[in-house]
Structure 1
């Protein structure tokens, strides 16, 4: 995984607690898309298991590939029945013939953009499914969004810009390897106190990449902002599931 390093392992417990899970519609969206019986599932960049919980609900054995040993340890403790491989996706060897479903929750952007689609394609059995899913954190109140954005901009710009909701689908389609590429959208409001929001921010990749001083400055600015907004905010949590199929018959 490109550029991820140890950003998340340093806060594995916070990540597990602060990151929101997925709505119950995600698993059925995958199940209704699949054309062949589900036999085996693998997950790329599984983290501490938020996406794993969805994939386990599909009823097949799950192998999780997670490059950070500290994240993998939390994942294994949460789901003892899951096979956890503590390695980057690029070094993982899929089972002969591939897996029925390859999932990736909030990690597709960490994979090498030049090779991720081809590696995923090669890991899936003919007729199998790729499911890339995740959240985008927006805000229910535009005034809150403007104030929180101003707080983020009060420290040096990290150069990271939000990706459009369709980016994973578009990236997979652009590779030209998969068929039936589509996007399922869902969303919900998620109220968060100041403390809850600050814990969530501590798990963001761009935040982890900042210097310790910049992190402290940003958290203080966000705390002042959210307290001024009444002690928290409500996220407009946008969840997308990009689905694609490897053509052919097993």
Structure 2
């Protein structure tokens, strides 16, 4: 997950936050305010902004020290642990809520659900949530995808609600539910390009390909009249330990 450390400040300013209703959905599912909350891959605190409103003691697990520095400055009341989730030791008895915002895919698919279940207290709640970025205008979507595929046709998007299906299929959790939110987010040219610069597939490319991609996208947004409207879908997957 340390791929984002080089753009920690940009990540904080460019990435959209989460609907505040996510916190209420977690509390409702849990049956009240939990005794504690731990967040996996907290980054600069996009998910933390919602989780901190639950009103429980909060531990943030963030392996990248550059991201953790931003996180500590924003949320001094949270305990920030600069370790990978796989090396983090849950408190005795486990945590009430274990949350993960847009970082589930960075965890080992073979072990993430087992580790999450064992980190929870009896009767605890797993809460995994994240955005799916799409485009409200079909013509914009087609033009952007065609341009990006011309540069690199190997990138594949995960299916909508993939985290819900991952948790459900693991067999480690019961009463698995999905709560969905959706909104349109207009972004001016520079805002959109800043957002693109925080995406993992973009950061994985060499600088010259990054520059080419931004040039192409910038020209497209100019052709659109200077604005891209994102179709932002947020899914919250909830579950209880099966055993």
Tell me the TM-score normalised to structure 2 length.
0.98
**Higher share of residues assigned helix:** 2
The residue aligned with 2:130 is 134
The residue aligned with 2:111 is 115
Q: Cα distance, 1:35 vs. partner?
A: 3.2
How far apart, CA to CA, are the structure 1 residues paired with 2:26 and 2:33?
A: 12
1:30 counterpart (16, 26, 33)? 26
The residue aligned with 2:212 is 217
Conservation of the 8 A alpha-carbon contact between 1:192 and 1:234: yes
**Are 1:98 and 2:94 matched, yes or no?**
yes
In the TM superposition, what whole-angstrom CA distance separates every residue of 1:182-207 from its partner, at most 9, and x where no partner exists? 10111001000110000000000000
Conservation of the 8 A alpha-carbon contact between 1:126 and 1:247: no
How far apart, CA to CA, are the structure 1 residues paired with 2:241 and 2:68?
A: 28
1:190 counterpart (185, 188, 202)? 185
**Are 1:146 and 2:142 matched, yes or no?**
yes
The residue aligned with 1:16 is 12
In the TM superposition, what whole-angstrom CA distance separates every residue of 1:189-241 from its partner, at most 9, and x where no partner exists? 10001100000000000000001110000000000011111102100000010
How far apart, CA to CA, are the structure 1 residues paired with 2:20 and 2:210?
A: 34
How far apart, CA to CA, are the structure 2 residues paired with 1:37 and 1:20?
A: 25
How far apart, CA to CA, are the structure 1 residues paired with 2:19 and 2:85?
A: 26
Conservation of the 8 A alpha-carbon contact between 2:45 and 2:71: yes
Unaligned runs of 5+ in 1: none
The residue aligned with 1:81 is 77
Q: Cα distance, 1:37 vs. partner?
A: 4.7
Conservation of the 8 A alpha-carbon contact between 2:173 and 2:242: yes
Runs (4+) off by over 3 Å: none
**Are 1:60 and 2:44 matched, yes or no?**
no
Computed over aligned residues only, the root mean square deviation of the Cα atoms, in angstroms, reads 1.1
Aligned residues: 243
- What SS is found at the alignment partner of 1:10? helix
**Are 1:230 and 2:225 matched, yes or no?**
yes
In the TM superposition, what whole-angstrom CA distance separates every residue of 1:99-133 from its partner, at most 9, and x where no partner exists? 00000000000000000000000100010000000
How far apart, CA to CA, are the structure 2 residues paired with 1:10 and 1:55?
A: 25
- What SS is found at the alignment partner of 1:189? strand
**Are 1:178 and 2:155 matched, yes or no?**
no
How far apart, CA to CA, are the structure 2 residues paired with 1:216 and 1:185?
A: 34
How far apart, CA to CA, are the structure 2 residues paired with 1:123 and 1:243?
A: 15
- What SS is found at the alignment partner of 1:7? helix
- What SS is found at the alignment partner of 2:3? coil
